[in-house]
Structure 1
Amino acid sequence: MELISSVAITILGSIALFLLLKWKNLHRPPCIKGWIPWIGAAFEFGKAPLEFIEKARIKYGPVFTVFAMGNRLTFVTEEEGINVFLKSPKLNFELAVQNTVYRTASIPKNVFFTLHEKLNIVVKGKIGTVNLYQFPGQVTEELHEQLKNLGTHGTTDLNELIRHLLYPVTVNMLFRKGFFPTNRTKVKEFHQHFRAYDESFEYGSQMPGCLLRDWSKSKKWLLTLFERNIPDIKTYKSTKDNSMTLFQAVMDTVEKETHERHCSSYGLMLLWASLSNAVPVAFWTLAFILSHPSIHKAIMEGLASVFGTAGKDKIKVSEDELNKLLLVKWCVLETIRLRAPGVITRKVIKPIKILNYVIPPGDLLMLSPFWLHRNPKYFPEPELFKPERWKEANLEKYSFLDSFMAFGSGKFQCPGRWFALLEIQICIILLLYKYDCTLLDPLPKQSSLHLVGVPQPEGRCRIEYRQRM
């Protein structure tokens, strides 16, 4: 009898455990596992992540999990879970990105954890809202220098044009004047390596470098560039006000903690952060403006009212002028809404509940600005380019529209967002003031290849420009 009782208890216990596990799994989001151990759905997912997620949303609803490369990626593609994502102490930002930071910039995890919050404060202090007034004049001067290279007229790919304007402007301002090369061969080499690094950044954040030989080569080239130039950047002094550049301020903090060992790695990370999204946003903004004649006309009328109609004058763009040309800022923000990153991420450190699902510890929780910005509840006619919707935002107090998440939110919101917006605004203003611009190709589709950062255009988009007389 005792044997029978023991067997019965064991069976009942097993059944109870099975039911418990089944109950727990029923309360987890649906999971797309793939059929290859550890790799999971990585191949199918990696081919076109945005398309993959769109199909998954239709099939499984707004919350679902993708198992890929040993990771559980749980996506939240609608408003459900926003407050949890932004405010829950059960989620962690640093743990979510530590592997990415190590693989893409060779910053060890312990160094990253030690410095992340300190450097976030440094960046906010240098290029945040308090000091923003210092930059319009500098950005304008740098852009005027680059615009000289365009000549009086020409035809080129719009994305290439924007790269040739913003790469040197951003690098010279944030690192040191003259850091960006002027020799044509070296400029081409910089473009080649940064583009290779940027385009495969997402793959490099997940895969061993030995599987990405070209990407690893470009990463090494960029790190070596910084290693060679760190001494000159360190001793550089502005001829105007003797102030430190952003990277000099970053290096000060890094040196105190690591004795200079990781300055080049942080240089690479700052370079990527400052260029990878600003360039495609400027491209898409100009492309949207030129493909909407009424908006283009309204902007040109605004420019004429502020600066006059001649295009040859070397105008100065101040904070006051920017405030008079709000339509340009609205266009930039509306572009970012439509071309937002696919995901921003946090790591689950304790079980959290979203809708009827329990997300387990260890999952990477992925909030999707891309789909959130297409929610008609917050953005009526979400697929239309409507800059006027930004009238409702309190931009004077540096506040965006509700549910606008392109820069993240809260403590880890992008610290350089207002500088990037300013730089893009001035780039658009000077280009449209100085040149008559015409798109020669239809507005391209956005690429669905990446989840991190602003989507690139799929295919070429040529522009014809002619200096205004």
Structure 2
Amino acid sequence: MGIMELFSPVAIAVLGSCVLYLFFRWKNLRGPPCIQGWIPWIGVGFEFGKAPLEFIEKSRIKYGPIFTILAMGKRMTFVTEEEGIDVFLKSKNVDFELAVQDPVYHTARIPKNIFLTLHEKLYVLMKGKMGTFNIHHFTGQLTEEFHEQLEDIGTHGTMDLSKFVRRLFYPATINTLFKKGLFLTDETKVKEFYQHFQTYDEGFEYGSQLPEWLLRNWSKSKRWLLALFEKNIEELRAHESVAGHSVTLIQAMLDIVEMETRRFSPNYGLMMLWASLANAAPVAFWTLGFVLTHPDIHKTVLEGISSVFGTEGKDKIKVSEADLKKLLLIKWCILEAIRLRAPGVITRKVLKPVKILSHTVPPGDLLMMSPFWLHRNPKYFPEPDTFKPERWKEASLDKNAFLDCFMAFGGGKFQCPGRWFALLEVQICIILVLYKYDCRLLDPLPKQSCLHLVGIPQPEGKCRIEYKQRT
């Protein structure tokens, strides 16, 4: 038998083993379906940017719950169902800070090195100051602030519901977390502030990704807001805090920032302003909208408020922690509104390959978990498209635990540190509005806008509320 005859079976076996190894290695490294478009770098950016939620909905129907899109030079891998939650929340191979540092720079001009140095320190501060053990410090002041804004609105009127809640929330939140009267000293300045903040807020998502020269009005409003903080930063530092706090939240934040740099104090002020205003008002909008369009729930909520505070509607009531515990239905309504109108995505950056189902997501991808679709999984939320506040009876809210797969506030190490403050101010606002006024909607509750993925979605159209002081 010749040497070639002996070698052939061995060679074939080795070659076959190599082929099998490479095949299984390729299969293991195979990424999710990728939607690339045909324009280099831009990819499907234009189509995606027109209506992100609609684009994702069509893509998940066509490609399944996990898929990747190429847009504006970025690879974004979307996970729209429960698969991948553990990877997203627990894997050491995905990172929150690296996912958001570019958007932070674009929207507030905070450089990467400063952001990465300060983020965890500031997160710990806010988590403590606004956490469950300290949140009661805000109850009295928020109640007073909302009373003051309701007095300004008057005894009756008709207004767009979105404008109605912004008119209550913007000054109440600023007066509580920053300084009473800051920015809002006369009608002209109030109007100017509202216009610039609304432009900044509505364009925030585009501004976080696109060059400023493409977004002139947004860029102008960003510069206006930064200049406002630069002008008022010394006054914020010197402001005397309310009882129960040694310093205000903004002062505590500035103390940490200025241990590293004073130059970027206004920038952090702008980020805190956006974070404190951008989501709370839409949550109040949707909660009031859902309650007012469900007569049985509306009636039960009013009966609960009357049982705690009476029915007069004219008294300047005080809301306590004990009162809030007696009105759990209102908290359920808020959480159910948030469930139905959750952010489109929350984001991590992939540092090393991660396996989700049969797909391997490569390093460099932005991994996008979708609370919006998780909250529509009937396995966890039966009748997922129905407003059912009673489902929250099953949550351990007394232990500050939400329902399984509820991800509106993020998860893992960096959950939203202001979630308890936001829930508190929406609760107080809903109580005071429905205590003081008989309310009804004059228009059908609009659908949510499909234009954005970040944060609580805004309504697609107008919706007027008629309010009249109760007698």
TM-score, normalization: structure 1?
0.95
Q: Distance in 1 between matches of 2:181 and 2:196?
A: 19
How far is 1:214 from its partner? 0.3
Q: Which residue of 2 aligns with 1:54?
A: 57
Corresponding residue SS for 1:83: helix
Equivalent in 46, 60, 67 of residue 43 of structure 1 = 46
- Deviations 1:44-72 (CA, angstroms, capped at 9, x unpaired): 00000000000000000000001001100
Letter in 2 for 1:82: I
- Equivalent of 1:276 in 275, 278, 282: 278
Q: Quick one: which amino acid aligns to residue 44 of structure 1?
A: E
In the alignment, the residues of structure 2 paired with residue 54 and residue 271 of structure 1 have an alpha-carbon distance, to the nearest angstrom, of: 32
5 Å-filtered alignment, 1:179-218, equals: 179-218=182-221
Whether the aligned pair in 1 keeps the contact of 2:207 and 2:218 (CA below 8 Å) is yes
Contact conserved, 2:242 with 2:248, CA < 8 A, in 1?
Answer: no
- Flag structure 1 segments of 5+ consecutive residues without an equivalent: 1-11
Q: Distance in 2 between matches of 1:227 and 1:461?
A: 36
Are positions 1:145 and 2:186 aligned together? Answer: no
For residues 236-251 of structure 1, the aligned pairs below 5 Å read 236-238=239-241, 240-241=243-244, 243-251=246-254
Shift of 1:134: 1.1
Aligned mate of 2:449, from 447, 450, 456: 447
Structure 1 residue matching 2:223: 3-state secondary structure: helix
Alignment of 1:66-465 (within 5 A): 66-238=69-241, 240-241=243-244, 243-258=246-261, 260-465=262-467
| CA shift for structure 1 position 245 | 1.0
Percent of aligned pairs with the same amino acid? 71
CA contact (8 A) 2:155 2:468 kept: yes
- Asked if the contact 1:344/1:368 (under 8 Å) is kept, the reply is yes
Q: Would you say the 8 A contact 1:247–1:267 is kept in 2?
A: yes
Could you tell me how far 1:23 is from its partner in structure 2?
A: 3.1
Cα displacement string for residues 81-117 of structure 1 (whole angstroms, at most 9, x for unaligned residues): 0011000000011110010000001000000000000
Structure 1 contact 172–180 (Cα < 8 Å) conserved: no
User: How far apart in 2 are the matches of 1:26 and 1:196?
Assistant: 43
Q: Which runs of 4+ in 1 moved over 6 A?
A: 19-22
Give the letter aligned to residue 294 of structure 1: D
Amino acid across the alignment from 1:380: P
Give distance in 1, aligned partners of 2:273 and 2:111.
Answer: 18
Aligned length: 457
Deviates more, 1:23-32 or 1:373-382: 23-32
CA distance in 2, matches of 1:278, 1:35: 39
Asked if structure 2 preserves the Cα contact closer than 8 Å seen for 1:168 and 1:180, the reply is no
CA distance in 2, matches of 1:180, 1:378: 44
Question: Secondary structure of 2:416's match?
Answer: coil
Whole-Å separation in 1 of the counterparts to 2:245 and 2:358: 57
Change (3 A) 1:451 1:339: same
Structure 2: where are the runs of 5+ without partners? 1-14
SS in 1 for 2:185: coil
Q: Distance in 2 between matches of 1:133 and 1:26?
A: 50
Q: TM-score, normalised by structure 2?
A: 0.94
Distance in 1 of aligned mates of 2:86 and 2:243: 45
State the SS of the aligned residue for 2:137. helix
> Contact (CA 8 Å) 2:137, 2:244: kept in 1 or not?
no
CA distance in 1, matches of 2:269, 2:29: 46
Shift of 1:261: 1.0
- 1:109-163 per-position Cα deviation (integer Å, ceiling 9, x unaligned): 0000000000001101211111011111110000001001111110000000000
Quote the residue 1:466 is aligned against: 468
Contact 1:303 1:429 in 2 (8 A): yes
What is the letter of the counterpart of residue 398 of structure 1? N
Q: 2-side partners of 1:165 and 1:180: how far apart?
A: 15
Name the CA distance, whole Å, in 1 between partners of 2:290 and 2:462: 15
- How far the C-alpha of 1:238 sits from its partner, in A, is 2.6
- Check the 8 A contact 2:29/2:360 in 1, yes or no: no
Structure 2 match to 1:30 = 33
How many Å apart are 1:243 and its aligned residue?
2.7
Q: CA RMSD in A?
A: 1.9
Q: Which amino acid aligns with 1:196?
A: T
Kindly indicate whether the alpha-carbon contact (under 8 Å) linking 2:446 and 2:460 is maintained by their aligned counterparts in 1. yes
